[in-house]
Structure 1
Amino acid sequence: MAGRIRAEDIAAVKDRSSIVEVVRDHVTLRSAGVGSLKGLCPFHDEKTPSFTVRESAGTFHCFGCGEGGDVVAFVQKIDHLTFVEAIERLASRLGMELRREEGTGGAPEGGLGRRSRLVEAHRIAQEMYADLLINSPDARAARDFLRQRDFTGAQCERFGVGFSPRGGEVLSRLLRSRGFTEEETVLAGLVGRGGRGSYDRFRGRLMWPIRDTSGDTIGFGARRIFEDDRIEAKYLNTTETSIYKKSQVLYGIDLAKKVISQGRQAVVVEGYTDVMAAHLSGVESAVATCGTAFGVDHIKLLRRLMRDEPGLDPARIVFTFDGDAAGQKAAMKAFAEDQRWTAQSFVAVAADGMDPCDLRLRKGPEAVKELVDDAVPMFEFAVRTLIARLDLTTAEGRVAAMKTVAPVINSIKDPSLRPEYQRTVAGWIGVGIEQLADQMRRSGTLAAPQDGPRRRDPEPEEPSAAELATAYPMPDLRDPIVNAESQLLQVLLQYPNSVGAQIDEIPPEAFVAPAHRAVFDALRSVEPWEGMTLAQWVAAVTDLAPLAVQPMVTALSVATLPVTLDAATGGPEQRYVDSLVIRVREVALRREIADAMSLMRRLSSDPDADPAQVRDVASGLQERQRALARLREGTT
């Protein structure tokens, strides 16, 4: 058994590995001053870049979540590897052979770590599948399938397409002959166990290798091509393993990542052949999910590559969906997550409902490029989909349409676009602009849910319009009061110790913006934060926040405060924090005073008013006025 890696080899791997090159496999970096590069952190979701790399120091640090270290630590964290596995991966990248000390033990059989073993098993499987597609007589049906879709042998080789043999133990025998144990092949998801022993998981199927951003094959997508296949599912994907998490991978990302990064555009299609067709048609930023819906982890991956961040021209994300009901439903689910992007989202649906693969086959590569270039804003697609369900020839249908689309328009990330969309949508529905504007004003003041932030509602099978658009309007930070709320929440999330007991003096209704109120409710619902790391604290608040405002929690947790931090404490100065607390509390007291004065006026004009009630209201009003005066004086 091989022993420990020699210390001098470990040092050589560290010295020869460029941390910038390694990080760039996962994060798009740009200059951040002399010797520094910055990008979106791959370890937590953020909107403002806080992840910094210094090549000269060979280190990275995220000022948002606190992750940091050297190149080995980065590889360990990003790929969930042990120290030995990370060294092995870096050595492989360098083309460097590692030497081991004899007799020290401690290394897995064959000298490879567990993850490396599983990746190596997939590499062997992919090579075997690719060879069989070309040379096996049994693969004729697979070759015919590809030929019918105008994919040549060279093009299939580019994407690593292969064929799994119909025999039940061909791959498992090959892997055993290469020194892999049955346990390893099962853990890799390549082999299964049954009553008669082990068997190949994929049999008689067309195979697509699923690779991570560094190009390692970590799973497979397999299409049914034989009528007598015992498994009826058209597509069979690798089961979840320690190296393959379907919610975190995108097919084609290894080929598309450079183009996505350079062009700051990603195209999300629905299948493996659609990715191939798009790339072969010149749309080389195309990727696809692997047997699951497009979700939050996919967004995080693409945002990092596209530099989807404020302050830059918006990146562009284009979704292609089938024109049928299932495609519309998928588009609406993607729209539900649109608030997580700074990027502008678009939807491309061919007029006759063809997917990119069919479109390339029937109308040529240019038609695929035109489909992407002519994509419509996701907002427009969502609104048209919603109002298509209603009868706009009736007054009732038009009113229902206004109620349906008003929160959608209010959710548009760029406020400057709302007036124009308002005019456009009013025309689609057939109502006056002011009618729709009035409905938007009413829908723009939705209150936070009464059941509080402790329960996160499960994702509905088909979200309502309000849920899709988010029930919380984007706070207008041009309003000084709303801006103060935002800064106070930043302080509470980033420096929870700085507010202390004052937090108990702030009622949730003090927050003017419903979204801020929901974040504060979630924050107050977390158990005492002592003992938590800052990352755990923010994660706990995020988990308790309504789904619609979770991206806001993340943004507030990494946003830069508009003040210089105290050099001694590392946090904001106490007088700044106190001023924010006072400002927010003052708003609540002023509202209570206004309500009490309104009630006094009504009671004064009512000859039947109860004198005791009048006295109680007057007394309460005076107490609130005194409380406001004390607050202004800086006392409680």
Structure 2
Amino acid sequence: MAGRIREKSISEVREKARIDDVVSQYVTLRNAGGGSLKGLCPFHDEKSPSFHVTPSRGFYHCFGCQAGGDVIDFVKEMDGLTFSEAVERLADKVGVVLEREDADGNDDRPRGPQRSRLVGAHQVAQEFYAEQLGGPEALVARQFLAERGFDQEAALRFGVGFSPRDGEALLRHLRGRGFSVDELVAAGLVAVGRSAYDKFRGRLMWPIRDATGDTIGFGARRIFDDDRIEAKYLNTSETTIYKKSQVLYGLDLARREIAKSSRAVIVEGYTDVMACHLAGVGQAVATCGTAFGDEHAKVLRRFLHDHEEFRGEVIFTFDGDAAGQKAAMRAFNGDQNFVSQTYVAVEPSGLDPCDLRIQQGDGAVRELVARRVPLYRFVLGNVVGRHDLDRADGRVDALREGARLVSSVRDRSKVDAFARELAQLVGVDPDEARAEVRRAAARAAKGGREPEAPAAPVAPRADVPDPRDPRFAIERETLKLVVQHPMAIGRTTGDIGVNDFTHPVYRGVWEAVAAAGGPASGSGDAAWAARVREHAGAPEIAAAVSELGVEPLLTLKEPDAGYVAHHVFRLLELTALRRIAEVKSRLQRTNPVEDSEAYNRMFGELAALEQHRRTLRDRIVGAE
């Protein structure tokens, strides 16, 4: 067993391993004044930087979680190493040859392979795979790269290689370099069945590196039709040095560009990362065989310098298909992980960055990123786009579904902005969108049930409108006048039609009233209400007629002409406002150059509707 590292060597490592250089491999640091640097603490999640590094003293300290120490402590805590392993790793980085005392059995290293041995095995494996890429057996692998626009120089830049089909080629090579089978199994490079064999065989290999540049795993792409493993991609299994939920492919190459530009671009695969970097988008990274999650966000934020004092950009690229929309939804659900603004970049033709570069060149990849749109707008647009906004019921459904999505956002500071965006997309008043978001949140809090009306003797049926729902207050009060006081409302209802009622039940009640002869034929007695009920086409319509017949009016006195006129003209005004919103929504979706005739026709219709609304407003004011 190796002896304890001499104090002289430890001091030399501390002296030569500059703490700001080491910490900068994990955290983006900025000048904090007074010879201090600061950034987001890597040991706890925070949005305002409280992690400080003082190079002159060789120390770090977090004023948030109280973590602190010297450069060895930092590496020890950051990478989960023992003290000796941290010293060994730093010594390798700065070129210090460690001197040890005679072995005394007190070495603090744990049983099992050291991290440095696992990383070393991966480094040798990466060099071996890269060398094999030039051999005759790797012709198919080289053709695969060439077809995707990657030449030998690109392969060298990203360390791409080839794993021989011989199931023990890497094993023999690494054993020849002094690595044991136990170390190689622990590294995830070798598996054991009846005997040991290479984990990856006959595949195109991408080395996966941590932020410091150490190779810690591989991504392996199927290229032979007779490969007995059907999976297109195989990735290194979880090991002590490889955690897929914390690894981002390309971060070692992208981290400086990410810090410099305060922008990160999340793509979906290894070839997309290569294409972006070669096209000039040097901030591109990708997950490794898993969806982008909270841990990935925490890793990325440290380099993005993502905190409340400074906001950068996080841009996701997705395919335009259903899978891409699902990925966008996952990203939206994790949007609150970032202080930075989140965006989506989707090529209209559905091409990913790699295919886009092949077909349209480097400039098209840069343009894809430049055309980014806010993530929330993309997701809400997909939700709203599933509905026919030219129909009233389509807009209602779009608003409800969009409101459920907005109400699920955990960062409450963003809810109001998302509600305004939803209102614009659907073509409704922002207050209506906010109210629907509040109702969606209330339903979610009650397990999906509508809030019950207080002091109601019987809970309302799900398909009957809640009497206290403000959205339908004018409709309900007008129908109460029709059922209870048909003679008072009389002929003023002549302009009312079924489309003036937005709730299906109230629309059904009006149809029953019309079928019974209309308000002018009613006398206000029980027979009138009974006649309306007889024409109700469904039980919920009949139930609503009964409710409307017994529920008191909002006025304490007999309804006069002013009260009647106020509700009738307000009902008509609301219809006019909905029609105005519909026309405005269609105008926004119509190109005035390509479809000028339709655009001009709608513009004229809008002017007429606005005049009609003003007339109704004047009549409402005159009735008060």
Q: What is the distance in 2 between the residues matched to 1:117 and 1:107?
A: 16
- Partner deviation per Cα, 1:582-605 (whole Å, 9 max, x = no partner): xxxxxxxxxxxxxxxxxxxxxxx9
1:106 Cα offset (Å)? 5.5
1:256 Cα offset (Å)? 0.2
Contact 1:390 1:397 survives alignment (8 Å): yes
Q: Name the larger-Rg structure.
A: 2
* CA gap 1:445/1:53 in 2 versus in 1, 3 angstroms: farther
Question: What does residue 598 of structure 2 align with?
Answer: none
Question: What does residue 202 of structure 1 align with?
Answer: 200
* CA gap 1:103/1:78 in 2 versus in 1, 3 angstroms: closer
Q: What is the distance in 1 between the residues matched to 2:344 and 2:410?
A: 16
Q: Secondary structure at the match of 1:222?
A: strand
1:341 Cα offset (Å)? 1.1
- Partner deviation per Cα, 1:72-121 (whole Å, 9 max, x = no partner): 01001111111111111111111222222344455699x99610000000
Question: What does residue 21 of structure 1 align with?
Answer: 21
The answer to whether 1:234 aligns with 2:232 is yes
Question: What does residue 5 of structure 2 align with?
Answer: 5
Contact 2:318 2:346 survives alignment (8 Å): yes
Contact 1:250 1:287 survives alignment (8 Å): yes
- Partner deviation per Cα, 1:258-292 (whole Å, 9 max, x = no partner): 00011110000000000000000000000000000
Contact 2:25 2:212 survives alignment (8 Å): yes
Q: What is the distance in 1 between the residues matched to 2:307 and 2:404?
A: 24
* CA gap 1:42/1:423 in 2 versus in 1, 3 angstroms: closer
Q: Secondary structure at the match of 1:166?
A: coil
Question: What does residue 253 of structure 2 align with?
Answer: 255
Structure 1 residues 276-425: aligned runs within 5 Å: 276-312=274-310, 314-406=311-403, 408=405, 411=409, 418=416, 425=422
* CA gap 1:424/1:191 in 2 versus in 1, 3 angstroms: closer
Q: What is the distance in 2 between the residues matched to 1:71 and 1:433?
A: 53
Q: Secondary structure at the match of 1:327?
A: helix
Of 45-54 and 394-403, more deviation after overlay is shown by 394-403
1:395 Cα offset (Å)? 2.5
Contact 1:52 1:62 survives alignment (8 Å): yes
Larger RCO, structure (CA 8 Å, separation 6 or more): 1
* CA gap 1:162/1:400 in 2 versus in 1, 3 angstroms: same
The one-letter code of the counterpart of 2:207 is: P
Q: What is the distance in 1 between the residues matched to 2:274 and 2:224?
A: 22
* CA gap 1:181/1:437 in 2 versus in 1, 3 angstroms: closer
Structure 1 residues 483-498: aligned runs within 5 Å: none
Q: What is the distance in 1 between the residues matched to 2:410 and 2:121?
A: 47
Q: What is the distance in 1 between the residues matched to 2:395 and 2:353?
A: 35
Q: Secondary structure at the match of 1:32?
A: strand
Structure 1 residues 141-160: aligned runs within 5 Å: 141-160=140-159
Aligned residues: 447
Structure 1 residues 80-159: aligned runs within 5 Å: 80-104=80-104, 114-134=114-134, 136-159=135-158
Structure 1 residues 152-171: aligned runs within 5 Å: 152-171=151-170
* CA gap 1:388/1:175 in 2 versus in 1, 3 angstroms: same
Q: Secondary structure at the match of 2:347?
A: coil
* CA gap 1:19/1:41 in 2 versus in 1, 3 angstroms: same
Contact 1:85 1:112 survives alignment (8 Å): no
Question: What does residue 192 of structure 1 align with?
Answer: 191
Contact 1:108 1:114 survives alignment (8 Å): no
1:439 is matched with which residue: 428, 432, 436? 436
* CA gap 1:96/1:200 in 2 versus in 1, 3 angstroms: same
Contact 1:118 1:185 survives alignment (8 Å): yes
Contact 1:176 1:182 survives alignment (8 Å): yes
The one-letter code of the counterpart of 2:399 is: M
Q: Secondary structure at the match of 2:33?
A: coil
Contact 1:412 1:418 survives alignment (8 Å): no
Question: What does residue 624 of structure 1 align with?
Answer: none
Q: What is the distance in 2 between the residues matched to 1:141 and 1:108?
A: 48
1:226 Cα offset (Å)? 0.3
Of 73-82 and 246-255, more deviation after overlay is shown by 73-82
Question: What does residue 499 of structure 2 align with?
Answer: none
Contact 2:3 2:101 survives alignment (8 Å): yes
Q: What is the distance in 2 between the residues matched to 1:324 and 1:360?
A: 19
Contact 1:85 1:113 survives alignment (8 Å): no
Contact 2:377 2:421 survives alignment (8 Å): no
1:444 Cα offset (Å)? 6.4
- Partner deviation per Cα, 1:350-379 (whole Å, 9 max, x = no partner): 111100000000000000000001011001
Please, what is the CA RMSD of the aligned residues?
2.5
* CA gap 1:189/1:269 in 2 versus in 1, 3 angstroms: same
1:17 Cα offset (Å)? 1.6
1:449 Cα offset (Å)? 6.1
The one-letter code of the counterpart of 2:163 is: S
1:3 Cα offset (Å)? 2.4
Question: What does residue 545 of structure 2 align with?
Answer: none
The one-letter code of the counterpart of 1:248 is: Q
1:68 Cα offset (Å)? 1.4
The one-letter code of the counterpart of 1:55 is: P
Contact 1:84 1:113 survives alignment (8 Å): no
Q: Secondary structure at the match of 1:228?
A: coil
Contact 1:107 1:113 survives alignment (8 Å): no
Q: What is the distance in 1 between the residues matched to 2:16 and 2:136?
A: 46
Question: What does residue 482 of structure 2 align with?
Answer: none
Q: Secondary structure at the match of 2:265?
A: strand
1:265 is matched with which residue: 263, 266, 269? 263
Structure 1 residues 468-507: aligned runs within 5 Å: none
1:20 Cα offset (Å)? 1.0
Q: What is the distance in 1 between the residues matched to 2:143 and 2:201?
A: 17
- TM-score, with normalisation over the residues of structure 2? 0.68
- Partner deviation per Cα, 1:178-200 (whole Å, 9 max, x = no partner): 111111100000000012x0000
Question: What does residue 618 of structure 1 align with?
Answer: none
Q: What is the distance in 2 between the residues matched to 1:56 and 1:214?
A: 23
Q: Secondary structure at the match of 1:326?
A: helix
* CA gap 1:123/1:112 in 2 versus in 1, 3 angstroms: farther
1:306 Cα offset (Å)? 1.0
Q: Secondary structure at the match of 1:46?
A: coil
Contact 1:13 1:90 survives alignment (8 Å): yes
Q: Secondary structure at the match of 1:131?
A: helix
1:408 Cα offset (Å)? 4.9
Of 381-390 and 328-337, more deviation after overlay is shown by 381-390
Of 380-389 and 160-169, more deviation after overlay is shown by 380-389
Q: What is the distance in 2 between the residues matched to 1:243 and 1:415?
A: 38
Q: What is the distance in 1 between the residues matched to 2:411 and 2:83?
A: 42
1:427 Cα offset (Å)? 4.4
Q: What is the distance in 1 between the residues matched to 2:106 and 2:446?
A: 55
Question: What does residue 55 of structure 2 align with?
Answer: 55
Contact 2:36 2:52 survives alignment (8 Å): yes
* CA gap 1:238/1:47 in 2 versus in 1, 3 angstroms: same
Q: Secondary structure at the match of 2:387?
A: coil
Q: Secondary structure at the match of 2:133?
A: helix
- TM-score, with normalisation over the residues of structure 1? 0.67
Question: What does residue 515 of structure 2 align with?
Answer: none
Q: What is the distance in 2 between the residues matched to 1:60 and 1:96?
A: 22
1:211 Cα offset (Å)? 0.2
Question: What does residue 38 of structure 2 align with?
Answer: 38
Q: What is the distance in 2 between the residues matched to 1:424 and 1:71?
A: 48
- Partner deviation per Cα, 1:33-79 (whole Å, 9 max, x = no partner): 31222110101111111111122222111122222111101001111
Q: Secondary structure at the match of 2:98?
A: coil
- Partner deviation per Cα, 1:476-501 (whole Å, 9 max, x = no partner): xxxxxxxxxxxxxxxxxxxxxxxxxx
Q: Secondary structure at the match of 2:216?
A: strand
